[in-house]
Amino acid sequence: MNKKKKSKIILRVLNKIYPEVPIPLNYKNTFTLLVSVLLSAQCTDVNVNNVTKDIYPKYNKPAHFVKLGRRKIERLIKRIGIFRVKAKSIFYLSKTLVEKYKGKVPNTYAELEQLPGVGHKTASVVMSQGFGFPAFPVDTHIHRLAQRWGLTDGKNVVQTEKDLKAAFPKKYWNRLHLQIIWYGREYCKARDCYGITCKICKSCYPNRKKTCKNKESLNESLRNRQCYC
């Protein structure tokens, strides 16, 4: 089965299961979306939401976090993994936004990726969910499923993203990346489906008998990026 046929099956299944797709992270504005995505690296969305629900009602602008300073930010997010590294990034990106962008989050990849702690994946999420720009953010969930479903053999984030963008029309990208994340968490789990039991895997590979093993090179690549975000 070629990629075109697979992509049609995937779209059909995901649209049926997720006609309305929820956004996993809670936020108040584009800035808090940026902060939440940065916090979500090596951390569950549930944990991030539990922490930020007590932060965002009071602190939701770059100026707020600049005034707080690194140590107070650390105390606020200490329940989140690598919180000191993330607190440093949040402080300095907030400082940059205040000094260079008048407290506004820029709406280009180039500017976003120049902010402390912000990589291409984080920038893609903000461009997609914050500004409505067509984007296809790739995290470990999406990479794993793209390999299982035969949509990519990419060894890095760039190649996987390129292959997924080629496989699906641009108008579906923003919605689709969220649908894939939810599907991976609920139906095609890393240690459950193994590429042979969920509806999409069985439809794309009806004759697959052995479990699908994902390449580990992307995970290593992601870990070597700052917060792999």
Catalytically annotated residues: 121, 139
C-beta separation of 109 from 149 below 8 A:
no
CA–CA separation, 221 and 203 (whole Å): 30
Q: How many angstroms from the chain centroid is the CA of residue 137?
A: 6
CA 93, 99, 101: angle at the middle one, nearest 5? 80
Q: Which amino acid is at 34?
A: L
Residue 49: partners with Cβ closer than 8 Å, 6 or more residues away: 25, 26, 36
Residue 52 backbone dihedrals phi, psi, to 5 degrees: -75, -20
DSSP symbols for 50-89: HHHTTTTTT--SHHHHHHHHHHHHHHHTTTSTTHHHHHHH
